[in-house]
A and B are shown apart, each in its own frame.
Chain A
Amino acid sequence: MIIRERQKSRIGSIARACRIVGRMNKNDPDNHKSELYHYDMLATYFERLQKAENEKTPIAGHTVFFPIEILYAMDIAPLHTETVTLLTALFMGNPTDYLAAGAELKLAPEICSPHRALAGAYSLGIFPRPDVMLWSNLICDNSAKSGELIAEMNQCPPFFLEHAFGSSTEEIDYLVAEMQDLIAFLEKETGHKMDWNKLSESVERSDRQLQLLNEICELRKAVPSPLYNRAYLESRAADQLFAGQPEATAYLETIRDELKEMVSQKKGAVEPERFRIMTLFIPPMHLVGFLDKSLKSHGAVSVVEPFFTYWEECRLDPSKPLESLAKKYYAAPERRTLYGPLGDETIRTLVNCAREYKVDGAIYYAFIGCRQSNALIKLFKDELNKIDVPVLTLDIDLVDTTVNNESEIQQKMEQFFELLEDR
Chain B
Amino acid sequence: MSEADKNLTARFPVLERFEETNRSFPKTREILEFKAAGKKVIGWLCTYVPEEVIHAAGALPIRITGYNQEMELEDGTAYLYINNCSFSKSCLQLGLRKEYDFLDGVVGGSTCDGARRLFDLWRYYLKPPFFQVLTVPRKNHERAQELYYHQVAAFKDHLSEYLGVKITDQALLNSVQVYNESRALLQELYDLRKLDQPLITGQETMQVLNASFRMPKEQFNKDLRELIADLKQSNRGFPAKARLMLIGSVMTNPEFIRSIEELGVIVVTDELCTSTRYWSDPVILEGAPGPLQAISRRYLNNFPCARMYPSTERFDRIVKLAKEARVDGIISENIRYCVPYAHDIPLLSERLKEENLPLLTLDVEYGTSGSGQIRTRVQAFLEMVEARK
Contact = CB atoms under 8 A, between A and B. Distances in A.
Q: A and B bound?
A: yes
Interface of A: 1, 105-108, 110-112, 115, 119, 137, 140-142, 144-146, 148-149, 152, 160, 162, 164-166, 170-171, 174, 177-178, 340-342, 366, 368-372, 374-379
19 contacts: A1-B346, A107-B343, A107-B345, A108-B342, A110-B363, A111-B342, A145-B339, A145-B340, A148-B310, A148-B347, A162-B137, A162-B139, A164-B137, A165-B133, A342-B117, A371-B114, A374-B80, A374-B81, A379-B125
Interface string B109-128: 01011101101110011000
B342 A171 contact: no
Interface string B311-345: 10000000000000000000000101111101111
A377 B81 contact: yes
B144 interface: yes
Interface in B114-164: 114, 116-117, 119-121, 124-125, 133, 135-139, 143-144, 147, 150
B12 interface: no
Contacts of B310: 148, 160
A165 B116 CA distance: 10
Contacts of B361: 106
B83 interface: yes
B84 A371 contact: yes
A107 B347 contact: no
**Helix, strand, loop or mixed for chain B's interface?**
helix
User: Lowest 6 A-B CB distances belong to which pairs?
Assistant: A165-B110, A145-B343, A374-B81, A375-B117, A165-B135, A342-B120
B83 A140 contact: no
Nearest to A107: B346
Nearest to B136: A165
A162 B140 CA distance: 11
B346 A371 contact: no
A298 B85 CA distance: 37
Given A148-B310, A374-B83, A106 B345 contact: yes
Contacts of A170: 147, 150
Contacts of B309: 144, 148, 160, 162
B343 A162 contact: no
B177 to A, nearest CB: 31
B81 A144 contact: no
A340 B112 CA distance: 11
B137 A371 contact: no
Contacts of B150: 170
Contact of A372 (B116, B124, B336): B116
Contacts of B340: 141, 144-145
B114 A378 contact: no
Interface string B171-182: 000000000000
B342 A164 contact: no
Contact of B345 (A108, A112, A171): A108
Contacts of B337: 110, 371
A148 B135 CA distance: 22
B114 to A, nearest CB: 6
B225 interface: no
B78 to A, nearest CB: 6
B374 to A, nearest CB: 16
How big is chain B's contact interface, by range? Answer: 35 or more
Interface of B: 78-85, 110, 112-114, 116-117, 119-121, 124-125, 133, 135-139, 143-144, 147, 150, 306-307, 309-311, 334, 336-340, 342-347, 349-350, 361, 363
Contact of A174 (B79, B110, B147, B347): B147
B84 A149 contact: no
A144 B336 contact: no
Max chain A Cβ within 10 angstroms of own Cβ: one of B84, B85, B121, B346: B346
A365 B156 CA distance: 40
Given A341-B120, A374-B83, A379-B121, A110 B138 contact: no
B17 to A, nearest CB: 37
A145 B344 contact: yes
B351 to A, nearest CB: 10
A371 B143 contact: no
B307 A144 contact: yes
Given A137-B138, A162-B139, A340 B343 contact: no
B354 to A, nearest CB: 12
B154 to A, nearest CB: 9
Contacts of B306: 145
A354 B119 CA distance: 25
B81 A366 contact: yes
Given A144-B138, A152-B347, 7 more contacts: A141-B339, A160-B309, A164-B137, A371-B113, A376-B117, A379-B120, A379-B124
B133 A372 contact: no
A341 B344 contact: no
A272 B136 CA distance: 51
Given A108-B363, A144-B138, A174-B147, A340 B346 contact: no
Nearest to B150: A170
A379 B339 CA distance: 23
A142 B339 contact: yes
A111 B138 contact: no
A378 B96 CA distance: 14
B135 A164 contact: yes
B345 A371 contact: no
A265 to B, nearest CB: 42
Given A108-B363, A110-B342, A145-B344, A340 B334 contact: no
Nearest to A144: B138
Given A141-B343, A142-B339, A372 B136 contact: no
A377 B124 CA distance: 13
A371 B349 contact: no
Contacts of B345: 106-108
Contact of A105 (B121, B138, B346): B346
Contacts of B339: 110-112, 140-142, 145, 371
A158 to B, nearest CB: 8
Given A152-B347, A374-B83, A375-B80, A160 B138 contact: yes
B342 A107 contact: yes
B120 A142 contact: no
A298 B307 CA distance: 45
Contacts of B350: 1
A31 B113 CA distance: 40
Contacts of A342: 117, 120, 124
Given A141-B112, A371-B339, A375-B84, A164 B311 contact: no
Contacts of B138: 137, 144, 160, 162
Contacts of B121: 375, 379
A130 B339 CA distance: 24
